[in-house]
């Protein structure tokens, strides 16, 4: 498999594997390659655990809006699918496609075959009549398809599907059309019997009592099916309800359907207004992460299969085997390792501590660890300190009053907490997460951010600089970079 990319069938298998885990899944809307990169890299630490989106959603609302068109089936689904190739190109996550009403059975079967070949994980098809209107519009009339005809559409698509891994999700519009919960349950039973892999129940109520009632009753339908279908929802209007509550009520897949587009739209409006008000662009990034100069590194300048952050480094993925990583350092002459444990490295410590050819000495503080590692050059060896970036503060005095003055080299292997900003880690790591690289630059310490494709060359470069300048060097390791 090509690193950083997935073949079409592999992406569908990933989605099936996620469903098999029987845990809640969270998807988010993307509308182009750049938003897909943002969603791909998004993560947070909740109760000490890393959380991220399980997949991406390509919806007709966002696709139409980015072209300046209403969400009214003006764009053909094949044209939308072709444009969504940018999303597939930059992401390894499963991508769900909004197929609107799907057309007549033969058209829908053709669409499913096309989406399968492109690499989408599934298609969501809604049971409304053409021309469809956006479900959140209260002015538009919403007419429902006859459930038997809609079921025939599902059966035909399942019959002609290229593989058994592509999922078809039937989107129920009964609550939108005012037909009620009983109608939605009747349709759900018909669609599941026709072979639907999942059901998406849609509601535009701010307090979705009707959706909760449906979810409770749907459990009986799911339990009686030969292959258990999953339940999905799109909490746009009832966004005060937490994902945790929706999961607890029986929803398996939550799709945040347009939040990234709305955030981008609001930011563009505000930025445009500020430029006009101030007669210049200075200050127009107020309230935003003003990183416009780095956009090419995330978009056009980004090589296929390589994930980069805004500084041109890679986004965290478990892509480097820990034994290979420590082995490379060992072959580069680093035989004495010391440091203070850091969760960034996780179980990768085991590979370091268990290597009989490496001396690993735990330390109680980072400056103590640097003192231990600094003894290695005096014995004709190389020493390395493994630490969290928050421990860089404890190293400043030792570095400035000893290593940098007396030219004593040591490699700092630094776990980068607070990587990619405040919303990516616990708040106590925010400041040091932003300033770690700048702090090393201030001390004239050469550094690299670990790249899954270039990391061996990076190690060689750092060793060369250490030897030439006889000074410490640092290798910054984003979370999740090493796998045990």
Number of H helices, E strands in the chain: 20, 18
Distance (Å, rounded) from C-alpha 363 to C-alpha 357? 19
Superfamily of domain 320-483 in the CATH hierarchy? Thiamin diphosphate (ThDP)-binding fold, Pyr/PP domains (3.40.50.970)
Give residue 316's pLDDT: 40
Distance (Å, rounded) from C-alpha 380 to C-alpha 460? 18
3-state DSSP helix/strand/coil percent for the chain, to nearest 5? 45, 15, 40
CATH node for 8-262: 3.20.20.60
Active site (annotated) includes residue 193:
no
Tokens of 22: 């029987």
Give residue 352's pLDDT: 86
Distance (Å, rounded) from C-alpha 123 to C-alpha 197? 10
Give residue 294's pLDDT: 43
Distance (Å, rounded) from C-alpha 99 to C-alpha 63? 12
Distance (Å, rounded) from C-alpha 290 to C-alpha 272? 14
Distance (Å, rounded) from C-alpha 253 to C-alpha 199? 10
Tokens of 77: 């689904």
Whether the upstream peptide bond of residue 59 has omega within 30° of 0, thus cis, is no
Tokens of 452: 């899954």
Give residue 446's pLDDT: 94
Whether the upstream peptide bond of residue 157 has omega within 30° of 0, thus cis, is no
User: Taking the alpha carbons of 338, 449, 426, 435 in that order, is the dihedral positive or negative?
Assistant: positive
Give residue 314's pLDDT: 39
CB contact at 8 A, 171 and 155: no
Distance (Å, rounded) from C-alpha 440 to C-alpha 368? 19
Q: Phi and psi (nearest 5°) for 320?
A: -115, 125
Give the number of C-alpha atoms closer than 13 A to the C-alpha of residue 367, restricted to the C-beta side: 10
Instruction: Mark the ranges of the chain whose per-residue pLDDT is less than 70.
Output: 1-7, 72-74, 78, 131-141, 282-318, 420-425, 484
Q: Phi and psi (nearest 5°) for 413?
A: -100, 105
Q: Tell me which residue of 482, 470, 477 sits closest to 386, measured CA to CA.
A: 477
Strands 334-339 and 359-362 turn out to be parallel
Give residue 419's pLDDT: 81
For residue 387, with 0-12 CB atoms within 10 Å meaning exposed, 13-18 middle and 19 or more buried, which class applies?
buried
Q: How far is CA 410 from the centre of its chain?
A: 35
pLDDT tens-digit readout, 263-313: 998 888 888 888 888 888 765 554 444 444 444 444 433 433 333 343 333
- The one catalytic residue in 54, 63, 71, 342 is 71
pLDDT tens-digit readout, 135-181: 665 655 678 999 999 999 999 999 988 878 899 999 999 999 999 99
pLDDT tens-digit readout, 326-358: 999 999 999 999 998 777 787 787 788 888 899
CB contact at 8 A, 364 and 391: no
Q: How far is CA 94 from the centre of its chain?
A: 10
Q: Tell me which residue of 226, 284, 256, 225 sits closest to 58, measured CA to CA.
A: 256
Give residue 414's pLDDT: 95
| Domain ranges across the chain | 8-262, 320-483
Q: Phi and psi (nearest 5°) for 387?
A: -155, 165
Q: Which helix (H) or strand (E) holds 201?
A: strand 198-201
Give residue 138's pLDDT: 60
Q: Tell me which residue of 358, 402, 400, 404 sits closest to 383, measured CA to CA.
A: 358
CA angle 7, 10, 13 (to 5 degrees): 160
């Amino acid at each position: 498999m090509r690193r950083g990319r997935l073949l079409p069938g592999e992406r569908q298998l990933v989605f099936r594997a996620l469903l098999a885990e029987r845990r809640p899944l969270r998807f988010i809307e993307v509308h182009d390659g750049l938003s897909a990169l943002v969603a791909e890299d998004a993560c947070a630490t909740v109760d000490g655990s890393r959380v991220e989106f399980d997949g991406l959603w390509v919806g007709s609302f966002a696709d139409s809006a980015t072209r300046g068109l209403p969400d009214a089936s003006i764009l053909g689904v094949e044209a939308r699918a072709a444009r969504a190739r940018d999303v597939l190109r930059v992401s390894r996550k499963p991508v769900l496609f909004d197929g609107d009403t799907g057309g007549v059975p033969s058209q829908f079967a053709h669409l499913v075959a096309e989406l399968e070949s492109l690499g989408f994980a599934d298609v969501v098809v809604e049971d409304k009549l053409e021309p469809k209107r956006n479900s959140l519009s209260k002015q538009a009339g919403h007419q429902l398809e006859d459930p038997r005809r809609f079921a025939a559409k599902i059966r035909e698509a399942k019959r002609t599907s290229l593989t058994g891994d592509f999922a078809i999700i039937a989107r129920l519009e009964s609550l939108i059309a005012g037909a009620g919960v009983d109608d939605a349950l009747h349709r759900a039973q018909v669609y599941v019997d026709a072979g639907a892999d999942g059901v998406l129940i849609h509601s535009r109520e701010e307090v979705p009592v009707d959706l909760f009632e449906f979810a409770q009753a749907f459990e009986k339908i799911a339990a009686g099916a030969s292959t258990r279908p999953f339940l999905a929802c799109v909490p746009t209007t009832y966004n005060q309800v937490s994902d945790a509550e929706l999961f607890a009520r029986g929803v398996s897949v939550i799709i945040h359907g347009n939040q990234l587009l709305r955030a981008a739209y609001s930011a563009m409006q505000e930025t445009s207004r500020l430029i006009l008000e101030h007669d210049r662009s200075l200050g127009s990034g107020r309230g935003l992460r003003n990183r416009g100069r780095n956009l090419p590194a995330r978009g056009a300048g980004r090589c296929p299969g390589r994930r980069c952050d805004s500084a041109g480094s890679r986004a965290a993925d478990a892509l480097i085997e820990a034994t290979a990583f420590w082995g490379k350092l060992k072959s580069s002459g680093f035989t004495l390792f010391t440091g203070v444990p850091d969760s960034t490295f996780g179980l990768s410590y085991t590979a370091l501590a268990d290597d009989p050819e490496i001396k690993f000495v735990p330390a109680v503080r980072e400056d103590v660890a640097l003192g231990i590692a600094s003894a290695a050059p005096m014995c004709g060896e190389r020493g390395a300190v493994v630490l969290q970036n928050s421990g860089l503060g404890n190293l400043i005095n030792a570095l400035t009053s000893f290593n940098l003055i007396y030219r004593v080299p040591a490699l700092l292997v630094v776990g980068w907490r607070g990587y990619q900003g405040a919303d990516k880690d616990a708040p106590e790591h925010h400041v040091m997460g932003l300033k770690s690289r700048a702090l090393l630059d201030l001390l004239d310490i050469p550094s690299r951010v670990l790249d899954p494709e270039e990391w061996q060359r990076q190690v060689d470069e750092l060793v060369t600089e250490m030897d030439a300048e006889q000074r410490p060097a640092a290798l910054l390791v984003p979370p999740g970079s090493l796998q045990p």
